[in-house]
Amino acid sequence: MPDALPSISPSPLQRLRLPWTEAAGIALWLKRDDLLHPHISGNKWRKLAPNLEAAVLAGHQRLLTFGGAYSNHLAAVAAAGRLLGFETIGIVRGERVEPLNPTLAFAERQGMQLHFLARSTFRLRKKPEAWAEWQARFGPCFILPEGGSNDLAVSGCTAIAQEVERVGVHVDYWIVAAGTGATAAGIIRGKTRGQVLAVSALKGDFIEREIARHAGIEAGTHWQLLTRYHHGGFAKWTPELIDFVNAFRRTSGIRLDPIYTGKMMWAVYRLTLQGFFPKGATVVAIHTGGLQGIAGFNERFGNLI
């Protein structure tokens, strides 16, 4: 069994010159973690790499994890398991609906065993307190929390900041989408300068506590959570967001997903127009991947992207 997850490494850092970045006089860079691997993309690759190394070292042959029906994490675990020779078990929130959506169909094609749990039970049984139950049911397995967000995952994400700093870009602002906040926490821990702006992909501000816990540092000069860019909540959208994502693709050639990276880049755009970034500032946005989710999004809402 190979002990490392393959990728292009380091991921490219791309300068984006768009009409609005040039008008504002800022230097915008995009860390292209979406290019790390075709099926284990973005921050899911960063989070999984150290976890899978630990699983291999501990002699595990089975991975078990949790996710929603369109979860980028489930898809990534299924693909990584296939690649490295792990059996994979995915506990999915909700009921099985045939035909499976593109995310779950992909996971199953990669060999992941899917088990569906009603929403109420899912909430309780994904918790670490219930993990012994899963071990008893499926045998010894390496369990990854929902979103893959544990301490090893946070340490894997420190490399995002380290790679950028190593090439000599002096960052004033880092900007990254947040779901559980583990990726933002890794960047906060890995950076030596600049402020991290974590753009919440969902409503509510509980992520602030999660980021503080994962990073070991309270919000303030090192980082802040931006809670005004979720477009109605997790996986919710507005026509404005869709138009932005499509226009961004036309002008930059880069695809964004509407769940995370589209909202993150929308925040960069709005903050730039509002003059939030001083002239001459260097802003590094993280493309955390998630493009596998576009097919499922289009299937649900009509071919918007």
Ligand X SMILES: *Cc1c(COP(=O)(O)O)cnc(C)c1O
Q: Which residues bind ligand X (CB under 6 A)?
A: 42-44, 72-73, 147, 149, 177-184, 257, 260-261, 288-290
Cis peptide before 10 (omega within 30 of 0): yes
Measure the CA–CA gap between 161 and 117, rounded to whole angstroms: 37
Tell me the closest approach of the beta carbon of residue 164 to ligand X, in angstroms: 17
Closest CB to ligand X among 49 and 184? Answer: 184
Closest CB to ligand X among 11 and 72? Answer: 72
Tell me the closest approach of the beta carbon of residue 175 to ligand X, in angstroms: 12
Tell me the closest approach of the beta carbon of residue 61 to ligand X, in angstroms: 25
Closest CB to ligand X among 27 and 34? Answer: 34
Measure the CA–CA gap between 159 and 153, rounded to whole angstroms: 11
Q: Residue 212 carries which side chain, given as an amino acid letter?
A: A
Closest CB to ligand X among 184 and 241? Answer: 184
Closest CB to ligand X among 65 and 261? Answer: 261
Tell me the closest approach of the beta carbon of residue 76 to ligand X, in angstroms: 8
Measure the CA–CA gap between 274 and 44, rounded to whole angstroms: 32
C-beta neighbour count of 202 within 10 angstroms: 20
Tell me the closest approach of the beta carbon of residue 36 to ligand X, in angstroms: 12
Q: How distant, in Å, are the alpha carbons of 1, 31, 88 from that of 270?
A: 46, 19, 41
Which two structure tokens, joined as six digits, stand for 181? 């906040």
Q: How deeply is 117 buried, as exposed, middle or buried, from its count of CB atoms within 10 A (0-12, 13-18, 19+)?
A: middle
Tell me the closest approach of the beta carbon of residue 183 to ligand X, in angstroms: 3
Closest CB to ligand X among 102 and 179? Answer: 179
Nearest Cα neighbor of 217 from 239, 248, 237, 195 is 195
Q: Cβ(65)–Cβ(148) under 8 Å?
A: yes
Closest CB to ligand X among 24 and 45? Answer: 45
Tell me the closest approach of the beta carbon of residue 278 to ligand X, in angstroms: 27
Measure the CA–CA gap between 8 and 35, rounded to whole angstroms: 7
Tell me the closest approach of the beta carbon of residue 103 to ligand X, in angstroms: 11
Closest CB to ligand X among 72 and 272? Answer: 72
Element housing 275 (H / E): none
DSSP single-letter state for residue 147: G
Residue nearest to ligand X (CB): 290
Measure the CA–CA gap between 169 and 166, rounded to whole angstroms: 8
